[in-house]
Structure 1
Amino acid sequence: MIGKGKSISHTRASMSYGWNQVKDAEIVLKEFLHGDSPAEITKEFKMLQDQNYHCTKNTLSFVISPTIEDGKRLDKSQLEAITKHFMHEMKLSERQAIAFVHQDKEHKHIHLYVNRIDFNGVAYNDSFIGKRSQQAAEKTAEHMGLTTVKQIQFEKEFNLIEIRTEIKRRHDLTMKQFQPKSFDDYAKAMESNGVKVIPSINNQNKLQGFRFEFDGHNLKGSEVHRNMSLGNIGKQMSGIQGASILKDNNVSIKLAGKVVDLTPNLALKITKFIIKRAIDKGMDIGY
């Protein structure tokens, strides 16, 4: 569950959005209020807000968003309970408040409006309200047995580790199976193994790196593994094919039907690697 909060001055306009019938809005909470329209509710808010003329952003606006899967099984009474517990965590009980659920889209979410001015004319302290809103949503989710942001982040990170590992495995398989002689060969071979290689080319038509697209994820080479930066891929191919990666392509390479240049820094790195490898093994690299 995600919680967002802020103080606003445009109470009626914001509440009109929350009460939007086009979005299949339904009232799930109404505290110390009698009105039946945004205009009437705004007037009731204003009766208390007029007691504190120093405060201009005198309405608190929140959005409470359960996960899509949690939202599918939440009925009106549960949405009311979520809203009340959220207000309790934010220490906003015993205030004028109204909340609507939007369910026009798959992602069901609650819009909550609370009078920042209490019945004694005192303004609610809205310091760090965004951060406190998220913390209140986390505690509410735990109390209600719903999915928390921490759980979602853990699952995403766990899945991402698996995706990175699989892309790296397919990269290693490509190098061993196809022994590509150029970056173009490498991109085609990786695609044969189910990974799309997307070149990053700057405005000077120089190849800066690769992105890897697999199973709905799009990652930079360095995000997948340190050995999958453009320079390291070039070194791997040089190790397989000797100096041909640079000698045959003359620092300009054909990639996806286009001719692009390697950056001078990249070309230098690969050249140094080839020369060092040749010296180590006493090879004739053909220069």
Structure 2
Amino acid sequence: MIAKIIEGRSFGGCVGYALKKDSEIIHVNGLRTDSAKTITQDFNFQRMLNPRLGKAVGHIILSWNTEDKNKLNNDIMLSAAKRYLSKLDIRDTQCLMVRHHDRQHDHIHIIFNRVNDHGKTISNSNQRYKSFKACKELNALYGFKQSEGKRNVNRGRLKGNDLTKYQIYDTVKAGIRHSKNWKELQNYIRYRGVEMQFKYRLGSDEVQGISFIKDEQTFRGSAIDRSLSFGQIDKALNSIDNSIELNQITGSYVSKDHSIDRNIGETLGHITSALFSNPEITPEQDDPLIKKRKKKENYGLKR
């Protein structure tokens, strides 16, 4: 079982999608189920208890591996979903769970109000980390097949940002397999239309994170997949002595202001070096006018 977390502003659009053809309501709490319209009205009525919360729509998709098909029924899926919500501290609020039968893998849509029954906001802090941990624990508890990550995702069904993320993921993972260091990785993914950009710790040249750019869209590496964080990639490349090599490739990928500061620093460094690196050289040795004047004075003395 895996989970996809989405937040939004419109209950109407979310409910309308969930109740499309080949759908089945398996659980409801605090909502009238006469129609999609009444469900939406009830969600919106409660959200007015906290009108300042813009993204009040909580939407989670729980999906199971096709190998779990024979283990699943409405009761098992509902039990797992309730335990999942409890582990994410989502409680005391309106909730709708809908099972879809339109794909090979079984999945349910959980729609809940982030404004709870008491008018308080349901926190989304560290939600994705909690979700990952919850899925892992529930897979072990129910004997569900543990997801093998992005390798089994059907790329043909992806669109928009999701498609771009998976394209970056595939490119970078292949690049890591074919590269011995950061420079080789940079060249490999650039040839395939992906750029990388490093994030620096404020006021220093210490690399703190990495983002990837494709089709003018930028995504943090860790947001694409945990294995694409700077630390994980650096570990995979086994770059024990790559600090110099890394510095050589980061210059063109830092922010514009950082690049200007670095260039100014280098220029001042060259000037300072030129002035002070040879203290034995006197001014007259460098200035031809002084040399000429000195020569004339020497001629005068000889007379």
Aligned mates of 1:27, 1:45 — CA distance in 2: 16
Aligned: 1:73 with 2:27: no
For 2:4 and 2:175, locate their aligned partners in 1 and report how far apart those are by CA, in whole Å.
Answer: 34
TM-score, scaled to structure 2: 0.48
Partner SS state of residue 109, structure 2: strand
Shift of 1:26: 0.9
The Cα of 1:55 is off from its aligned counterpart by 0.2
Specify the alignment match of 1:193 in structure 2. Answer: none
Equivalent residue of 2:33, what SS?
coil
One-letter amino acid matched to 1:87: L
1:84 match: secondary structure: helix
**Could you say what the CA RMSD is over the residues aligned between the two structures, in angstroms?**
2.6
Alignment match, 1:147: 145
Indicate how the Cα distance of structure 1 residues 6 and 128 shifts in structure 2: closer, same or farther if over 3 A, else same. Answer: farther
Whole-angstrom CA distance in 2 between matches of 1:82 and 1:92: 14
CA distance in 2, matches of 1:114, 1:11: 9
Task: Work out whether 1:223 is the aligned partner of 2:188.
Answer: no
| Equivalent residue pairs, number | 160
2: CA distance between counterparts of 1:119 and 1:220? 48
How many Å separate the matches in 2 of 1:34 and 1:127? 30
Corresponding position: 1:83 with 2:81: yes
Residue 29 of structure 2 corresponds to 31
Alignment check: 8 A CA contact 1:30 1:99 kept = yes
Matches within 5 A, 1:131-146: 131-146=129-144
AA at the equivalent of 1:223: R
Distance 2:34 2:70 in 1: 27
Q: Equivalent residue for 1:53?
A: 51
CA contact (8 A) 1:29 1:99 kept: yes
Q: Which has the higher strand share?
A: 1
**Aligned AA (1:9):** R
Q: Does the 8 Å CA contact 1:60/1:116 hold for their aligned counterparts?
A: yes
TM-score normalised by structure 1 residue count? 0.50
Match of 2:112 in 1: 114
Distance 1:10 1:222 in 2: 40
SS in 2 for 1:98: strand
1:172-215 deviation digits (Å, cap 9, x = unpaired): xxxxxxxxxxxxxxxxxxxxxxxxxxxxxxxxxxxxxxxxxxxx
State the partner residue of 1:9. Answer: 9
Instruction: Please state how far the C-alpha of 1:19 moved relative to its aligned partner.
Output: 0.9
1:187-198 matches, within 5 Å, as none
Note closer, same or farther for the CA distance 1:20–1:225 as it changes in structure 2 (3 Å cut): same
Tell me, yes or no, if the aligned pair for 1:6 and 1:130 is still in contact at 8 Å.
Answer: no
Q: Note the alpha carbon deviations across 1:261-285, whole angstroms, 9 max, x for none.
A: xxxxxxxxxxxxxxxxxxxxxxxxx
* Partner deviation per Cα, 1:72-104 (whole Å, 9 max, x = no partner): 430111111111111111111232101111112
Residues 6-51 of structure 1 deviation map (CA, whole Å, 9 limit, x = unaligned): 3211111011111111xx1111211222223222111111221101
Structure 2 residue runs of 5 or longer lacking an equivalent are 153-172, 185-303
Match of 2:161 in 1: none
Q: Distance in 2 between matches of 1:94 and 1:37?
A: 23
CA distance in 1, matches of 2:95, 2:120: 16
The 8 Å contact of residues 47 and 115 in structure 2, kept in 1 or not, is answered as: yes
Match of 1:7, as an amino acid? E
Gaps of 5+ in 1: 157-218, 230-287
CA contact (8 A) 2:2 2:64 kept: yes
SS at match of 1:47: helix
Decide whether aligned partners of structure 1 residues 145 and 38 sit closer, same or farther in structure 2, where only a CA change above 3 A counts. Answer: same
Percent identity reads 22
> How many angstroms apart in 1 are the aligned matches of 2:76 and 2:143?
11
Does the CA contact (< 8 Å) of 1:29 and 1:83 recur in 2?
no
